[in-house]
Amino acid sequence: MLRRLAYVSTPAPAFRAVEVGHIIEVSRANNAAAGITGVLVYTGTDFAQLIEGEADAVGRLWGKLRSDRRHTDLAVFLDEPADRVWFESWRMGYLYDEALTTQIFEWRVLQRRLDDIEIEGMRLLLASADAA
């Protein structure tokens, strides 16, 4: 069974932008080996990440992410079983985009599941992130 999970988080106070390169390097290798795809966006002030793949693999990665001290205040806004993946590969986007920053704030404070239209909006926004 496939699982799709998306969250936002806040970089730890000591986190520096150059460390993103290291996260990408490790993630690219790990995710390829585990069959994980998705997107990681770093805006400078927030992370937004969507991961998808076999439920076991997503669960294992989620365990690592939750205990990674490079970010805090992880807030999940999507966690669902999936028939197929949205992203064929794992991608990284750097996006200094005001609309995304506003959206991330909204995802963070969201206290309910996204509806279908919001989910489609999220997919499109994340899909556009690595084109920036």
Ligand X SMILES: Cc1cc2nc3c(=O)[nH]c(=O)nc-3n(C[C@H](O)[C@H](O)[C@H](O)COP(=O)(O)O)c2cc1C
Minimum CB–partner distance for residue 60 and ligand X (Å): 9
Tokens 């150059």, located at residue:
18
Rounded distance, CA 74 to CA 18, Å?
21
CB 9 within 8 A of CB 71: yes
Residues in touch with ligand X (CB under 6 A): 23, 26-27, 30-31, 40, 47, 49, 51, 61, 64-65, 68, 70-71
Please identify, using beta-carbon distances, which residue of 6 and 122 lies nearer to ligand X: 6
CB 46 within 8 A of CB 10: yes
Minimum CB–partner distance for residue 22 and ligand X (Å): 9
Minimum CB–partner distance for residue 116 and ligand X (Å): 26
